[in-house]
Copies of this chain bind each other. A is one copy, B any other.
Amino acid sequence: MSHVARLFVEQPLEQGAAVALPEAQSKYLLRVMRLTEGAQVRVFNGADGEWRCSLSIDRKTAVLTPLEQTRAQVSGPELTLLFAPVKKARTDFIVEKATELGVSAIQPVITDYTQSQRVRTDRMRLLAIEAAEQTERMDLPQIEDAAALPKVLAAWDRAVPLIYCDEGGDAAPLAAQSNQLSGKPAGLLIGPEGGFSPKEREMLRALEFVIPITLGPRILRAETAVVSALTLWQSEVGDWQQAPYLPEA
């Protein structure tokens, strides 16, 4: 792929308007990447498209000046991942993979069998930024504060189907239900290790906007189920008919 650094910034991007980077990003470009005055960097902010920028250095601060817009702003489909936090490394992984797989929002939910209640949304946001930079996304997923499952369900927009991975054995594959899903935003709910409690399954199954799906005969870990279910949704009703964006090297 391209070897030109790609960076998410918080500031507005417009031609000629220099952007001074905060300390961490300055360090990354100058010390880790060892870029020098005049180097080119690809920059996006989730609103103004992607810009080819030129680097200048003001003492220890990296300053980027947008030269030309290389891509217009686009967003992927509206897809919210609801997941029950698991151990740290696996939660990190879920955030990274969900960002790669194009979710528009990530909502941690606390369920009956959720082991780790501590959710660091600041850390999740940093991981999402890094993954978005890598994956040629033009936007970031919105990271929501953790909330209890019943509260999230009570506030859910009933016009939006909520897919959940049910290990009970009688759910149909997502592909068999894609007519109910196509052309609509969706939510995708993945339980913790150990799945949902009987009470939660009953609650979920009673809601008419909830669509149970199966992920096959083997038991998947939570983070595998996240990637598998997001893949099936993107492939069936999302944007995977589109070709990859390939930046010029």
- Which residues of A come within 8 Å of B, CB atoms? 1, 76, 93, 97, 100-102, 134-137, 167-170, 173-175, 194-195, 214-221, 224, 227-228, 231-232, 234-236, 238-246
Chain B residues with CB under 8 A of A224 = 97, 100-101, 227
One of B136, B219, B227, B245 near A231 (C-beta < 8 A): B227
Chain B residues with CB under 8 A of A234 = 216
- In the complex, what's the smallest C-beta–C-beta distance from A6 to chain B, in angstroms? 10
Chain B residues with CB under 8 A of A100 = 218-221, 224
- Count of this chain's copies in the oligomeric assembly: 2
Q: Known interface pairs A135-B219, A216-B240. Does A194 touch B1 (Cβ–Cβ under 8 Å)?
A: yes
Chain B residues with CB under 8 A of A195 = 1
Q: Decide: B167 and A216 in contact? CB cutoff 8 A.
A: no
Give CA–CA (A97, B223) in the complex, Å. 9
Give CA–CA (A97, B97) in the complex, Å. 13
Q: Known interface pairs A1-B195, A246-B169. Does A136 touch B218 (Cβ–Cβ under 8 Å)?
A: yes
- In the complex, what's the smallest C-beta–C-beta distance from A245 to chain B, in angstroms? 6
Chain B residues with CB under 8 A of A194 = 1
Chain B residues with CB under 8 A of A134 = 219, 221
- In the complex, what's the smallest C-beta–C-beta distance from A196 to chain B, in angstroms? 12
Give CA–CA (A218, B236) in the complex, Å. 16
List 6 A-B residue pairs with CB atoms under 8 Å apart, sorted by A's residue number: A102-B217, A169-B243, A174-B235, A216-B239, A216-B244, A217-B245
- In the complex, what's the smallest C-beta–C-beta distance from A134 to chain B, in angstroms? 7
Q: Decide: A167 and B235 in contact? CB cutoff 8 A.
A: no
Q: Which of A100, A167, A173, A216 has the most CB of B within 10 A?
A: A216
Q: Decide: A244 and B101 in contact? CB cutoff 8 A.
A: no
Chain B residues with CB under 8 A of A243 = 169-170, 214, 217
Chain B, Cβ-Cβ closest to A239: B217
One of B231, B239, B240, B244 near A167 (C-beta < 8 A): B244
Chain B, Cβ-Cβ closest to A193: B1
Chain B residues with CB under 8 A of A245 = 217-219
Give me 11 other A-B pairs in contact (C-beta within 8 A), A137-B218, A169-B246, A216-B235 excluded: A1-B195, A93-B93, A97-B224, A102-B217, A102-B218, A170-B243, A175-B235, A216-B240, A217-B245, A227-B227, A228-B228
